[in-house]
A and B are shown apart, each in its own frame.
Chain A
Amino acid sequence: MITLSTLTKKYGSQEVLNIPELEIPSGQCFGLVGNNGAGKTTLFSLILDLIRPSTGQVINNGHVVSENEAWKNTTAAFIDESFLIGYLTPEEYFQFVADLRQVSKATLEEWLEPFAPLFNDEILGKKKYLRDFSKGNQKKVGLVAALIGAPQTVILDEPFANLDPTTQIRLKELIQKTAQTQHTTFLISSHDLTHVTEVCNRIVLLEKGQLRKDILKTTETLSELEAYFKG
């Protein structure tokens, strides 16, 4: 479970995020939507202790993230390319993450097998460094690596952007399946309202750092969001 309380982030006098209270229970698929500058990445960065809050705190699994590093044992994320190590091959990168998460080589290889359709023969065994892969394939590697070792919480920033249609569909299935079988908590931000409403069971809408909507998904959610963004 992740709890945010009186969380704000200011740069100078400009407030980019202000969330008085928010609770994300375990096993929830939490979707975050909002236009550019709404504060989505800021929120994720605060949860991952990549930036320091101006006030308030984030409690992940009982630990205040800015005071204790224990949340790292249960949380994984893929935010952007800075989460990839460019000079490794995909195999080496997976192994690196697996090593840190205490997953053995054999277990990793077995675990990777079902991803063959997602990888579409373009990732493994290519003898290529990650920095030489296309943006889309880099993203696939980062997303899959975030799932290694069955973390309790997975945070993905814009996971659908830059992916081809087939992969987008497979990724949706992957997230839903993982959430169901492992009760993983997913935090997903997206500009794609269709995808995010399909995958998530709760949608939070940010605008200019403020929480504008917090809805449990129903059949009307998509049209409600579309109406909001039409302005």
Chain B
Amino acid sequence: MPTFSFRALNKKKLLRTPQWETKLAIRLLIGFFVLYMAASFLLVGVSIYFIVDETVPDQPPILTVNQFLVYYFFGELLLRYFLQQLPVTDIQSFLLLPIPKRRIIRNVLLKITLSLYNLGPFLIFLPFAIVLIVKGVAPQQALSWWFSVLALVLSINFLSFFIRKTAWIYPIVGGVLIGLFLEQYEIVPVISGAGQGLQWLYEHPLGVLAPLALLALMGRATARFLIKQCYLDTGLQSRRERVLGMRLHFLDRLGEDAPLIKNDLRLIFRNIRARQVVLMAVLFLFYGLIFFVQDIYAESPMWVFAAIFTTGGFMLTYGQNVPAWDSEYYALLMCQNLSYRGYLKAKWLLMTLSIVVSAILCIPYLYFGLKVYALILAGALFNIGLGTFITLFSGTANRTPIKLNVKAKAFENTQAFNLTQFLFVIPKVLAPVGIFWLGTLGWGFYGGVALLCVFGTAGLLLRNTLLDQVVKRYIKGKHTTLNAFTKTPNV
């Protein structure tokens, strides 16, 4: 009699994700990216010892690392809390099958444990432990320390699922903040105390039993907790959100574009995935801090990058996935009394608004000089005149549907990635650098700024023609896009 095996199912699930079914070239590219990331982490792991030894020379590196680890654990907890998802769908489909609940939960625990988020200890701390051994630390000491770290990371892994369903995150964050405060004013050294605890584990190899016991305890507790969650009205219930009131009447003056723009704003504020992406767009505003502060980049093409990124964050993150944001109801839009032109014009307007707002929010960059802000404004103008249209144009190549209210998994943001879109980065980001450089050749810094403005203005003047071209491309791809969007995206 054939026996049921979760392993076979898990294998199918993995092999049948859309990532595997994409073209070989993209698969290779993503694979290469993953390897690159892994290599980078490994490099960090290997070099920690030497970096720490150099920056804090008066104590052994392991002590410094242990003191820092508390922050690392806390950061990891936050990251997991916000990003990692409980594989709920894996529970629901099995509830009615003759499989013991404990086995279902065991499978879920296994999946959580094998998650990509748990690679940190292997990629960063294992190389560090090996360097320790090379540097003469007793192997049993280095390795038991590493096992302690691993056990603690996995405990945090389980803890993050616990606190997801409760409000524990607030006391935890509060506790850490109070700890920081007590530490800072040297009242009670809570944080360095925790560091000392780790140091103790390092000095007493047998101490590894404590974190291992904690891990076992956490694993058991999580299993028990999950078993209780196995009901449709507890853990498996999708959380119903409170409605975020957004009347947005002030937008009505935009006339016929108003309904679509209102809709996009609601989309952004009410869907997890969109919020994640737009949050990233906000971070782009700080891009300038990397380039404008360092003298080596002064007036170099890197400044142009910064100018394009600081003002074009929304365009580059949100805009890039037009029309996939509307994939869940694309058929509706295609049947409404709404032309493609109207649809695309609203998207253009929204991106333009975001660029204008970003340019205003960038005013503090004036602190770094008039030149910096002049370039930011020129970058904004280029983004409005040409960047937006290139973004919309490249959107037709993007046919991966987006599940709006589901958190992105690791590498899922690369899912909507494809080669054609990648090629459009050249005109969007590299071209302005080239244009600026050409301008500086003839007339110095402000020549470059002026030439960027000329290109931006030209695009703005030709906006109707450019939009027509974009519309043509969308109409041509309409049925292919519809077909792609009706395929259920990977949850």
> A85 vs B339: C-alpha distance in the bound complex, in angstroms?
18
Residues of the B chain whose Cβ atoms lie less than 8 Å from the Cβ of A49: 334, 478
Residues of the A chain whose Cβ atoms lie less than 8 Å from the Cβ of B270: 87, 129
**Contact status of A82 and B339, CB under 8 A, knowing A129-B270, A132-B240:** no
Q: Does A169 reach chain B (CB closer than 8 Å)?
A: no
Contact status B334-A99, CB under 8 Å:
no
How many inter-chain residue pairs (CB < 8 Å) link A and B? 82
Contact status B335-A83, CB under 8 Å:
yes
Per a CB cutoff under 8 Å, which of A69, A87, A132 touches B266?
A: A87
Q: Does B340 reach chain A (CB closer than 8 Å)?
A: yes
Residues of the A chain whose Cβ atoms lie less than 8 Å from the Cβ of B240: 128, 132
Q: Does B405 reach chain A (CB closer than 8 Å)?
A: yes
For chain B residues 360-419, which have a beta carbon within 8 Å of chain A?
Answer: 404-405
> A88 vs B262: C-alpha distance in the bound complex, in angstroms?
11
Q: Does B103 reach chain A (CB closer than 8 Å)?
A: no
Residues of the A chain whose Cβ atoms lie less than 8 Å from the Cβ of B328: 82, 85-86
Q: Does B479 reach chain A (CB closer than 8 Å)?
A: yes
Q: What residue in chain B is nearest A130 (Cβ atoms)?
A: B329
**Contact status of A69 and B339, CB under 8 A, knowing A87-B271, A128-B240, A129-B243:** yes
Residues of the A chain whose Cβ atoms lie less than 8 Å from the Cβ of B258: 99
Minimum distance in angstroms from B280 CB to a CB of chain A? 19
Contact status A77-B335, CB under 8 Å:
yes
Q: Does B173 reach chain A (CB closer than 8 Å)?
A: no
Contact status B266-A86, CB under 8 Å:
no
Per-residue CB contact flags for chain B residues 457-479 toward chain A (1 = under 8 Å, else 0) read 00000000000000000000011
Residues of the B chain whose Cβ atoms lie less than 8 Å from the Cβ of A85: 263, 328-329, 332
Interface centre among A48, A76, A89, A149 (most CB of B within 10 A): A89
Q: What residue in chain A is nearest B480 (Cβ atoms)?
A: A52
Q: What residue in chain A is nearest B271 (Cβ atoms)?
A: A87
Q: Does B337 reach chain A (CB closer than 8 Å)?
A: yes
Q: Does B259 reach chain A (CB closer than 8 Å)?
A: yes
Contact status A101-B486, CB under 8 Å:
no
Contact status A72-B263, CB under 8 Å:
no
Q: Does B12 reach chain A (CB closer than 8 Å)?
A: no
Contact status A127-B242, CB under 8 Å:
yes
Minimum distance in angstroms from B348 CB to a CB of chain A? 18
Minimum distance in angstroms from B467 CB to a CB of chain A? 15
Residues of the A chain whose Cβ atoms lie less than 8 Å from the Cβ of B330: 82
Contact status B266-A50, CB under 8 Å:
no
Residues of the B chain whose Cβ atoms lie less than 8 Å from the Cβ of A87: 266-267, 270-271, 404-405
> A51 vs B338: C-alpha distance in the bound complex, in angstroms?
18
Contact status A73-B337, CB under 8 Å:
yes
Interface centre among B238, B240, B338 (most CB of A within 10 A): B338
**Contact status of A82 and B340, CB under 8 A, knowing A127-B242, A128-B240:** no
Residues of the A chain whose Cβ atoms lie less than 8 Å from the Cβ of B332: 82-85
Contact status A51-B336, CB under 8 Å:
no
Interface of B is mostly: helix
> A183 vs B340: C-alpha distance in the bound complex, in angstroms?
29
Contact status A50-B242, CB under 8 Å:
no
Q: How many residues of A contact B (CB 8 A)?
A: 34
Per a CB cutoff under 8 Å, which of A52, A72, A86, A131 touches B336?
A: A72
Residues of the A chain whose Cβ atoms lie less than 8 Å from the Cβ of B335: 48, 50, 72, 75-77, 83
Per a CB cutoff under 8 Å, which of B266, B337, B479 touches A101?
A: B337
Q: What residue in chain B is nearest A51 (Cβ atoms)?
A: B479
Residues of the B chain whose Cβ atoms lie less than 8 Å from the Cβ of A92: 266
Contact status B243-A82, CB under 8 Å:
no
Minimum distance in angstroms from A50 CB to a CB of chain B? 6
Minimum distance in angstroms from B106 CB to a CB of chain A? 32
Residues of the A chain whose Cβ atoms lie less than 8 Å from the Cβ of B241: 129, 132
Q: What residue in chain B is nearest A132 (Cβ atoms)?
A: B240
Q: How many residues of B contact A (CB 8 A)?
A: 32
**Contact status of A100 and B259, CB under 8 A, knowing A72-B336, A128-B240, A129-B241:** yes
Q: Does A123 reach chain B (CB closer than 8 Å)?
A: no
> A69 vs B338: C-alpha distance in the bound complex, in angstroms?
9
> A79 vs B483: C-alpha distance in the bound complex, in angstroms?
15
**Contact status of A79 and B331, CB under 8 A, knowing A87-B267, A87-B270:** yes
Minimum distance in angstroms from B105 CB to a CB of chain A? 27
Residues of the B chain whose Cβ atoms lie less than 8 Å from the Cβ of A69: 339-340
Per a CB cutoff under 8 Å, which of A52, A77, A96, A127 touches B243?
A: A127
Minimum distance in angstroms from B435 CB to a CB of chain A? 36
Q: Does B180 reach chain A (CB closer than 8 Å)?
A: no
Q: Does A97 reach chain B (CB closer than 8 Å)?
A: yes
> A68 vs B330: C-alpha distance in the bound complex, in angstroms?
18
Contact status B482-A51, CB under 8 Å:
yes
For chain A residues 83-110, which have a beta carbon within 8 Å of chain B?
Answer: 83-89, 92, 95-97, 99-102
> A82 vs B335: C-alpha distance in the bound complex, in angstroms?
11
Per-residue CB contact flags for chain B residues 257-277 toward chain A (1 = under 8 Å, else 0) read 011001100110011000000
Per a CB cutoff under 8 Å, which of A89, A131, A149 touches B405?
A: A131
> A51 vs B486: C-alpha distance in the bound complex, in angstroms?
11
> A177 vs B200: C-alpha distance in the bound complex, in angstroms?
82
> A73 vs B334: C-alpha distance in the bound complex, in angstroms?
12
Q: What residue in chain B is nearest A89 (Cβ atoms)?
A: B243
For chain A residues 31-75, which have a beta carbon within 8 Å of chain B?
Answer: 48-52, 69, 72-73, 75
> A132 vs B242: C-alpha distance in the bound complex, in angstroms?
11
Interface centre among B335, B404, B479 (most CB of A within 10 A): B335
> A49 vs B263: C-alpha distance in the bound complex, in angstroms?
24
Q: What residue in chain B is nearest A79 (Cβ atoms)?
A: B331
For chain B residues 250-308, which have a beta carbon within 8 Å of chain A?
Answer: 258-259, 262-263, 266-267, 270-271
Contact status B329-A52, CB under 8 Å:
no
For chain A residues 190-230, which have a beta carbon within 8 Å of chain B?
Answer: none
Per a CB cutoff under 8 Å, which of A50, A89, A149 touches B331?
A: A50
Residues of the B chain whose Cβ atoms lie less than 8 Å from the Cβ of A128: 240, 243
Contact status A84-B479, CB under 8 Å:
no
Minimum distance in angstroms from A30 CB to a CB of chain B? 17
Contact status A99-B405, CB under 8 Å:
no
Known: A69-B339, A72-B338. 20 other contacts (CB 8 A): A48-B331, A50-B335, A72-B336, A72-B337, A72-B339, A76-B335, A77-B335, A82-B328, A82-B330, A82-B332, A87-B267, A87-B270, A88-B263, A96-B259, A99-B259, A100-B337, A100-B338, A102-B337, A129-B270, A132-B238
CB-CB nearest 3 A-B residue pairs: A99-B259, A87-B270, A83-B332
Can you list 17 residue pairs at the A/B interface with Cβ under 8 Å? A48-B331, A50-B331, A51-B482, A73-B337, A79-B331, A82-B331, A83-B331, A83-B332, A84-B332, A86-B329, A86-B405, A87-B271, A88-B266, A96-B262, A99-B258, A102-B337, A129-B270
